[in-house]
């Protein structure tokens, strides 16, 4: 009788077949949003339009889920999901709120130390002369939520005028003014200096240069404009031109903002 030696199998981790569990699957629209392309809602549109492929095949089913090994492409480029990044910047004057500028002007992106390949973008805009709180992220869902008018995100500005504001004009602006793009009314206003040139203005409208234009409508020029609060985020302990990551507490408040 010949005895055969039985060798125990010695599979390394890489030799074992990769099992795909439900927990490793990700909805395609979330995958696209995490790759920094757009929000989930807009991702659904891209899927419906046949602009997304999975392993070379067009994806048209909105609820489809993808595996970690799937190759997802948009416009021929492979999408790689990114870890969500949330940055708060205290914007200085003379920086524009864009990713790049064809005219060569300085942008807020120059102030952020990004990791290689990390893609983030500003949520909303502050004009070149305006300073203060600015949020940057690669979370398309959150960016769209905060930018949508229905969210009514509150913003608090400190406004410095070229001359003291009269009581009559204060009441007039407090009641609202009609601009070229419609009626505009602050949520709250307060005079914060003895010379009556510094005004605190809270507003939830997101229209272009809305605060400057409201004061221009009643005959005042805004000399300095600083956003001191955005969606309950403040620039406390954040000096001009500096940035930091959001705390977990701040992020939770933003995500559950109504």
pLDDT, tens digit (0-9, with 9 covering 90-100), for 187-215? 999 999 999 999 999 999 888 899 999 99
Beta strands in 192-240 (DSSP E): 198-203, 222-230, 233-234
Mean pLDDT of the chain: 87
Q: What is the pLDDT of residue 76?
A: 86
Residues 244, 66: Cα–Cα separation, whole Å: 33
pLDDT (tens digit per residue) in 7-46: 333 434 444 444 445 557 889 998 888 887 888 888 999 9
Domains with residue ranges and CATH for the chain: 22-78 (3.10.290.10), 86-149+234-255 (3.30.70.580), 154-230 (3.30.2350.10)
Residues 227, 131: Cα–Cα separation, whole Å: 6
How, if at all, do strands 131-137 and 222-230 pair? parallel
Measure Cα distances from 162 to 80, 129, 172 in Å. Answer: 50, 15, 18
Which of 48-52, 68-72, 242-246, 253-257 is the least confident region?
Answer: 253-257
Name the catalytic one among 94, 100, 101, 127: 127
- Element spanning 175, H or E: helix 167-175
127 catalytic? Reply is: yes
Residues 65, 20: Cα–Cα separation, whole Å: 12
- Does residue 243 have a pLDDT over 90? yes
Kindly state the percentage of the chain with pLDDT values over 70: 89
pLDDT (tens digit per residue) in 97-151: 988 888 989 999 999 987 655 778 899 889 999 999 999 998 888 888 898 888 8
pLDDT band, very low/low/confident/very high, at 223 (cuts 50, 70, 90): very high
Cβ-contact 95, 245 below 8 angstroms? no
3-state DSSP assignment of residue 251: helix
Cβ-contact 177, 184 below 8 angstroms? yes
Q: What is the pLDDT of residue 132?
A: 97
Which of 51-55, 68-72, 215-219, 241-245 is the least confident region?
Answer: 68-72
- Does residue 1 have a pLDDT over 50? no
HSE (CB half, 13 Å, CA atoms) of 104?
0
């Amino acid at each position: 009788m010949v005895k055969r030696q039985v060798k125990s199998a010695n599979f390394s981790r890489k030799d074992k077949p990769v099992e795909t569990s439900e927990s490793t699957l990700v909805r395609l629209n979330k995958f696209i949003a995490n790759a920094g392309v757009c929000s989930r809602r807009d991702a659904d549109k891209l899927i419906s339009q046949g602009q997304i492929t999975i392993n070379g095949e067009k994806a048209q089913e909105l609820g489809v889920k993808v595996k970690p090994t799937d190759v997802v492409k948009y416009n021929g480029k492979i999408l790689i999901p990114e870890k969500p990044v949330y940055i708060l910047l205290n914007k200085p004057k003379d920086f524009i709120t864009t990713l790049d500028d064809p005219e060569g002007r300085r942008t807020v992106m120059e102030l952020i130390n990004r990791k290689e390949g990390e893609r983030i973008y500003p949520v909303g805009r502050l004009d070149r002369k305006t300073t203060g709180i600015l949020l940057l992220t690669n979370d398309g869902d959150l960016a769209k939520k905060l930018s949508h008018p229905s969210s009514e995100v509150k913003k608090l500005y400190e406004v410095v005028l070229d001359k003291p504001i009269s009581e009559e004009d204060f009441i007039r602006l407090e009641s609202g003014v009609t601009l070229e793009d419609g009626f505009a009314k602050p949520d709250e206003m307060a005079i914060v200096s003895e010379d009556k040139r510094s005004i605190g203005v809270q507003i939830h409208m997101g229209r272009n240069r809305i605060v400057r234009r409201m004061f221009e409508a009643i005959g005042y020029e805004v000399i300095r404009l600083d956003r001191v609060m955005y969606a309950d985020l403040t620039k406390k302990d954040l000096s001009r031109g500096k940035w930091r990551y959001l705390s977990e507490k701040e992020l939770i408040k933003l995500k559950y903002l109504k």
